[in-house]
Amino acid sequence: MIVAGSCVNARLITSTARHRLDIIVVLAQKDFKVRYRNSVLGFFWSLLNPLAYMVILTLVFSFLLRVSIPNFAAWVLIGLLIWRFFSTGTGQGLTTIVGNPSLITKVHVPRYLIVLSNNLANFLGSSLEFLALLPLLILLGVSLTACAMFLPVLLALEFLLIFGVSLFLSSLNVKYRDFYQLWDIALQLGFFLSPIVYDASLIPERFRLLYSLNPVTRLIESARSIFLLDRLPSAFDNTVILSSVAIVLLIGFIIFRRIETGFAEEL
C-alpha cells in the first residue's frame, strides 16, 4: 500500500479536483490537436468522411436498390454520424493506454483521466460534426423543431457509453493486444447489426427484441426520431440507453481498476 503524500505546497499545488480538471483539459487538447495535425484539410476530413459515405450509400441504396425510405440521404447521414462517434470514440479509446507509454511509465497521473480526456476530445469532434452538418440536414428538407434540442443529451449519453467501453477495452488491450484486432472486426459487425443502412423493421420478428436492446441502435433511432419525426425518444429508448450506460460504466471501471496497477510493468 502506498500512502500518498499530502500536498503541503498550497500556494502552487491547488486542490486535487482542480489539478485533475487541468490534466483533463490539457490531455483532451493534446488529443484534439494530434487528431488533425499533419493533415492539410484537418477538421474538414471529419465532415468529408460522413458526407462521402452519405453520397455513396444514397446512390447505392436509394437509386440502385430503390429502398423506399423517405429522405434517405438525411436518414442515413444521421445514422452515420451517431455510428461514427461510437466507432472512432471506442476505436481510439482502445489505444489510449498502449499509445501513451510515457504517461504511464514516466509520470504519475490517475490513469482513467487519460481515457476520459481522449473520449472528451472525440465528443467535442463529433459534436462539431453534427453542428457543421446541421445546415445540410435543413437543406435536405429536415425541419428543426424544439425536439432537436435533445441532441446534446443524446450525444452526452453516447459519450458516457463510449467512456465505459473504452475503459474496458483500453485496459484489456494492455494485457492482450488481440483486442485491437478483435474490436476492429466487432465494429464492422456492429455497423451491420445497427440500423444504419437499412430499417430495423427488416429484422425478423423473433430477433427483434434482442436486436433492439443494442444501445447504439437506440441512439440512432432516437436521433432519427428527434430530427425526422419531431418526436422525443421513447421511454423504451431512454430505458435501454440509460441502463446500458450504467452497466457498461460499472463493468468498465471494475475491469480497469483491476488491471491498472500492472500498467507500468506491462508497457
Q: Is the dihedral of CA 111, 114, 120, 123 positive or negative?
A: negative
The C-alpha cell that represents 163 in the structure block: 467512456
Part of the chain binding other proteins (CB under 8 A), chosen from 3-11, 53-61, 124-132, 200-208: 3-11
The Cα-based distances of 203 to 20, 65, 84, 173, 211 in angstroms read 46, 18, 22, 33, 8
Site string for other proteins, 214-253 (x = CB under 8 A): ----------------------------------------
Q: Is 106 in the site for other proteins (CB under 8 A)?
A: yes
Part of the chain binding other proteins (CB under 8 A), chosen from 7-15, 64-72, 190-198, 213-221: 7-15
Single out the residue of 17, 107, 185, 235 in contact with other proteins (rule: CB under 8 A): 107
Using CA atoms, how far apart are residues 75 and 62, in angstroms rounded to an integer? 11
Site for other proteins in 35-74 (CB under 8 A): 37-38
Q: Is 26 in the site for other proteins (CB under 8 A)?
A: yes
Site string for other proteins, 144-163 (x = CB under 8 A): --------------------
Q: Is 17 in the site for other proteins (CB under 8 A)?
A: no
Using CA atoms, how far apart are residues 216 and 193, in angstroms rounded to an integer? 9
Site for other proteins in 84-103 (CB under 8 A): 100, 102-103
Letter for the amino acid at 29? Q
Residue 255 C-beta-side C-alpha neighbours within 13 Å: 19
Nearest to 156 by CA among 122, 183, 199: 122
Letter for the amino acid at 6? S
Which residues lie near other proteins (CB under 8 A)?
A: 1-9, 12-14, 18-19, 22-23, 25-27, 30, 33-34, 37-38, 100, 102-109, 261, 264-265
